[in-house]
Structure 1
Amino acid sequence: MATTAKPQQQVTHFLFSIVLATMACTLNRDDPLGGLPPKHCLDGGYKPVFTDKLLLEEALLFCKTTLENNLKENVNLVRVSAPLFVTRASGFNDNLNGIERPATFEPRDFPGTHLEVPFSLAKWKRWALHYYGVEAGKGIVTDFRGLRCDDDVDFTHSLYVDQFDWEKHISPEDRNVEYLKSTVKSIYKALYDTEQAVCEKYGIEPFLPEEVTFATSDDMIRDHPHATPKQRENILCEKHKAVFFIGIGGLKEDGQLRHDGRAPDYDDWITERPDGGFGLNGDLLVWNPVLKQSFELSSMGIRVNPEVLLKQLDLCNVPERKNFVWHKMLLDGTLPQTIGGGIGQSRTCQFLLRACHIGEVQHGWYNPAEVDILKKDGINLLGLGEFDADPSAKSS
């Protein structure tokens, strides 16, 4: 398939960063309580499924274990261990939108050596397939834990990231949208089967449809030109309940993001598809019946090959990255062709257990003023997330 990029997409790094910064910040920073769940969830409008903390912990483990097992079976993955930090010089950390700050530290006895807690493992996983010698048609999955200091902190976002990061070795001939869709169906079946098991075990009403619907950012821009990206997602998810939204990253002819930002060196967002759109990646979205809005569970895609990598680095005006260790390994053919993604663990648990705030299913930190409001409404966050500055405070 041809890889093309329109001339209007040749923007400066400055403009690209400004656009991405705008997209990355969805929290209303003018509202001191902008991270609270929707109003209909407050003032008694929401009742948690679990009030017993130990039973909740049991349910969280069941959700995660069941989902991981289903992923391994459906996508042909093997569980491997993962690093908690990588070196800055290696280029193994993901750059997300290119503006976020990684959590960084120096080892005591090696000043000047910069180690970073990764944002995700998109690059590391591709290297790991080479490291473990995984053959085509098989992949890996790992239990990733990371920190994102610049993420919004609200009812669906946390500074702490936990996800099932997976990556699969594919052949060059599989770099097409049909293979992407086939893999999405396998991922979705793992989620669907997990919801069925969780609902049966804990007496929750199932919600997900048996089949996922596919849509493209290009079609949604054409059909809803004046809607925001979030509004377009809401339109799709309210109608279909589960949607894979194809084509994330890259710019429209007017220089604005087509839908959302993607780093230039993992997902392929410039390859032209047979439908005339661009990108071999996407987001898996569902309609959240508690929050009554679209809800992202996973992002994934076919990864860049050497040709696409160089083009996307140039589009983002970061050609110097090709001198990093990881990028050199990709360009010289050491790293295999892959497809991969991440499935948010706490985000998925929030959906499966019908929680209105991610802090109900994850140990995190949240706006203390919002925490007080949530507690008055009977919404208690997990662990130290319910406290202000004093971790010795006793839970009520």
Structure 2
Amino acid sequence: MSLILPENYDPHMTVRETQEAIKYIRDTFQREFGKEMNLERISAPLFVEKSSGLNDNLNGVERPVQFDVAGIPGETVEVVHSLAKWKRMALKKYDFEPGEGLYTNMNAIRRDEELDNLHSCYVDQWDWEKVIRKVDRTEETLKTTVRHIFKIIKHMEHEVWYKYPQAVKHLPDDVTFITTQELEDRYPDKTPKERENLITKEYGCVFLMKIGDKLASGEPHDGRAPDYDDWQLNGDILFWHDTLDCALEISSMGIRVDEKSLASQLKKAGCEDRRELPYHKMLLRGELPYTIGGGIGQSRLCMLLLDRAHVGEVQASLWPEEMRQTCREHDIILL
């Protein structure tokens, strides 16, 4: 995705008004999200030991930022990509029960991320995780949770409209569910990203399910690490963003792997060496709770609700000077 410059773009707010709105959205959403989802706010790490196996491997090609710590000789430390696996360990450590969960303010650095309207090397999201029973590892549990999250985001639209009526984006009234295989069958000659755009433009908000495994074409819709989401019980929440004429991913989430799906997915991904890592050993022995969880992009949510053209308008990050200048010429002010 290259830089998109909407014609006659108007942010409707000054930079200082935008900063105020960002704080309002973040404060209000996390409070409502925690209450509605029965999640407790907890502290989380910015980095983990590489040997723990707790870091998120994303698509398997991204390089984590690594460094050493003088007080822990011989250990390599990695800045987290996300807290997908760490949260599950925390739920066990803090004795959470089924129906209870946690959320945390997660900050990460993704050094290999492309820099454009939607992507930054700085990631900020609410990572959340909830304990469920084994019998609740079903598609219906997943869909019910997605509908609940959509309802909270939709409520935020009304909250933001009340304070900033000139700037708010109006969201669809419902979320539509479709699997990656159904999407491939529907648009066999399109790329995965083109399919996402077509289906999200049609329905306004889509939960695209079953990401990670190979489709009938022999290729996966998109990459997904094999050791946190169950590829049959996961998905992305996508909203159509008219300003950029594309789908905007707000959340990646899913029911997490159990012993059987972890073993299967590690084999499919050619990552069976991970079975020897501490986290994976615990999971394969059935020592970790069954969970559902995900991440909700903080800057992405602000970008959606305030109808912004660039994620840099709602977060302070690094951008090429040429991009800053070009955006400035089109009334897109990067923080």
Tell me if TM exceeds 0.5.
yes
Aligned to 1:218: 181
TM-score (norm 1): 0.82
Aligned to 1:294: 247
Aligned to 2:257: 304
Aligned to 1:361: 314
Deviations 1:303-329 (A, max 9, x none): 000111011001111111011111111
How far 1:114 moved relative to its partner?
A: 0.6
Aligned to 1:394: none
Distance 1:325 1:54 in 2: 46
Match for 2:214 among 245, 251, 261?
Answer: 251
How far 1:250 moved relative to its partner?
A: 1.1
Aligned to 1:22: none
How far 1:131 moved relative to its partner?
A: 1.1
Aligned to 1:235: 198
Distance 2:71 2:37 in 1: 42
**Unpaired runs of 5+ in structure 2?**
none
Distance 1:109 1:83 in 2: 17
Per the alignment, in what secondary structure is the counterpart of residue 280 of structure 1? strand
Aligned to 1:341: 294
How far 1:78 moved relative to its partner?
A: 0.9
CA contact (8 A) 2:157 2:168 kept: no
Greater strand percent: which structure? Answer: 2
Distance 1:165 1:46 in 2: 32
1:39-78 equivalent positions in 2, closer than 5 A: 39=5, 41-42=6-7, 45-51=8-14, 53-78=15-40
Deviations 1:135-192 (A, max 9, x none): 0011111000010011111110000000000001000001110110000011111111
Distance 1:260 1:64 in 2: 29
TM-score (norm 2): 0.97
How far 1:290 moved relative to its partner?
A: 1.4
How far 1:229 moved relative to its partner?
A: 1.1
Q: In the superposition, relative to structure 1, how do residues 135 and 208 fare at CA in structure 2: closer, same or farther (>3 Å)? A: same
- Please, what is the CA RMSD of the aligned residues? 1.2
Deviates more, 1:204-213 or 1:361-370: 204-213
Deviates more, 1:334-343 or 1:233-242: 233-242
Aligned to 1:98: 60
How far 1:227 moved relative to its partner?
A: 1.2
Instruction: Indicate whether 1:190 and 2:152 are aligned.
Output: yes
Q: Which runs of 4+ in 1 moved over 6 A?
A: none
Per the alignment, in what secondary structure is the counterpart of residue 71 of structure 1? helix
Deviations 1:57-108 (A, max 9, x none): 1110111111112211222111111101100000010101111100111012
Deviates more, 1:62-71 or 1:139-148: 62-71
CA contact (8 A) 2:83 2:127 kept: yes
Q: How many residues align?
A: 334
1:70-219 equivalent positions in 2, closer than 5 A: 70-203=32-165, 204-219=167-182
Distance 1:293 1:194 in 2: 21
**Unpaired runs of 5+ in structure 1?**
1-26, 28-33, 270-278, 383-396
How far 1:254 moved relative to its partner?
A: 4.1
Distance 1:47 1:254 in 2: 42
CA contact (8 A) 1:49 1:354 kept: no
Amino acid at match of 1:303: R
Match for 1:323 among 276, 290, 293?
Answer: 276
Deviations 1:314-348 (A, max 9, x none): 11111110111111111122210000000000111
Amino acid at match of 2:80: P
Amino acid at match of 2:213: G
Higher-Rg member (1/2): 1
